[in-house]
Structure 1
């Protein structure tokens, strides 16, 4: 499994938590078991599981701060008005931008756009790209604030 696939699983778990109030641990366990075609999938590697858990639980733990960043840079959009997939793609990407600096910014942005296009709409890909592009301009400042 790749990091791309791990991000996909994290997005699925975030949406389950966001929409269904599912427990995060339970949501992650459920999405690990399913492939894209609904069939059972093998266990993730320890590295993939560690990466996914860091993204999922970090995104949830930093939710207020991440949502604050999104409110600031998603001009004209209330978080509640965004499609759940778009909102959670952005949450995941913002968390990774702020807290996983080893991942190149371009990778985070590309992965987020692809997730939005795959699970939402073509327009969602453009929307996600636009919001993230505004955030990236201020990324160093945001990372400094996170460290405070």
Structure 2
């Protein structure tokens, strides 16, 4: 597993934990960075957590609009975290190709969630990827 893939996995961990605790993921991350009890946190993990947090209202709106038949609250928390990271990379990470953002999110869903989650994540992000250029133009 590459360094960025590990960073994505770690970012999912932070977003998932913050979601379950009902806390701010950036605050949770700040509490953990530099802690002797926690392995070092990759810079890309920090970028992802901060990026998702900064753009979360727009990210959640887009996920809600494109997750056919699912509300954000009804989704498993891990799927929400994976989708948020995938969408952040799709729209805001200029150095990550769209196909890579989607593929990495699908791989995270395969390893962390239900058997149906990879297809669900792929479908949501795939629908958004079709209009990604239009969305980026108004961000």
TM-score, normalised to structure 2, is 0.88
- The 3-state SS of whatever aligns with 1:79 is coil
Aligned twin of 2:11: 10
- Gaps (5+ residues) in structure 2? none
Q: Runs of 4 or more off by more than 6 Å in structure 1?
A: none
Counting only pairs closer than 5 Å after superposition, residues 115-130 of structure 1 correspond to structure 2 as 115-130=108-123
1:114 aligns with 2:103: no
Aligned twin of 1:145: 138
- Gaps (5+ residues) in structure 1? 34-39
How far does residue 63 in structure 1 lie from its aligned partner after superposition?
0.7
How far does residue 102 in structure 1 lie from its aligned partner after superposition?
1.1
Count of paired positions: 136
1:89 aligns with 2:82: yes
Q: Is the 8 A contact 1:13 1:31 kept in 2?
A: no
How far does residue 76 in structure 1 lie from its aligned partner after superposition?
1.4
- The 3-state SS of whatever aligns with 1:108 is helix
Aligned twin of 1:56: 49
TM-score, normalised to structure 1, is 0.83
Q: Is the 8 A contact 1:9 1:31 kept in 2?
A: no
- The 3-state SS of whatever aligns with 1:75 is coil
Aligned twin of 1:20: 21
